[in-house]
Amino acid sequence: MIKADHKRWAELIFNPYLKRLLKKSFFDFRVINELPEIDKTKSLLITPNHFSWWDGFFIYWLNKKILNRKLYVMMLEEQLSRYWFFQKLGCYSIDLNDNRKMVSSLRYTVHLLSAPYNIVTIYPQGEIQPYEQKPIQLRNGIDFLSKKSENDFQILPVAFKIHHTNQKLPIIYARFGKLLSKKKIELAPQIFNEEFIKNLDLINSEYSTTNFRSTF
C-alpha cells in the first residue's frame, strides 16, 4: 500500500488551487447544520457519501474551513499511483481487489486514528455510487476499525449533495450527521449504517433551507 506523506509545500500549492477550482465550478458551498461538539482529545473518523469524483475536494475544503485538523484521506491505490501529488496532501491507498493489501490499509487507518489530532476520511460505500441508488450499499470497514483499534475515536457521517438551480453554477450542500463513538459502534455496528443513511435522507429534505453557512 501507499502511505501518506504530508508535505507543507504541497498544501501551499493546493490550497489556492482548490479555492479557485471550487469557486469557478460552483455558485456556493453551503453547510446546512452545526458541527457537533467534538472531543479534541480524540481522533475523528469522517465518513462521507461517495457519489462523484469531487468528493475528496469537498472534504479538503470542509476541513480547511471548519474542522482545521491534520487530514488523511483513503484513496483507491490505482488512482493514487496515478495522481501521486495527493499522497503529499495526506492521501493513502487501498486496493479493494487484494484482501492482503486491503487489511494492511485498514490497519494503517487504525494507526492514524491513534493520534488525537488526526482526521481520517474513508468512504463506507467503497466506490462511487449514483446519488439516487437504492438500497445504499456499505462495506464493513467501520466495523473492522472499531474492533481493531485499542484507542477510542469519534465517527462523523457527512453528506454532500450537488444541487442544480437556475443559477449558472450548481450549489454544494453539506450536512453533518450524528457524532458516534467507537465504543458504541463496536457494540452495535448497525448503528453506523442507520445514521449514515439517515444523514443522506436528511440532506435531501433540508438542503433548501435558508439556514445555512456559506464557506465561500
Q: How far apart are CA 193 and CA 157, in angstroms?
A: 10
Helix locations, 26-152, DSSP H: 55-62, 77-82, 99-112, 141-148
pLDDT per residue, tens digit, the chain (216 aa), is 999 999 999 999 999 999 999 999 999 999 999 999 999 999 999 999 998 999 999 999 999 999 999 999 999 999 999 999 999 999 999 999 999 999 999 999 999 999 999 999 999 998 888 777 788 888 888 999 999 998 899 999 999 999 998 889 999 999 999 999 999 998 898 999 999 999 999 999 898 877 899 999
The answer to whether 28 and 171 are in contact (CB under 8 A) is yes
* Phi, psi dihedrals of residue 8, rounded to the nearest 5°: -60, -35
pLDDT value of position 152: 92
- 31 SS3 class: strand
Q: What is the pLDDT of residue 165?
A: 85
Residue among 32, 47, 50, 42 at smallest CA distance from 69: 42
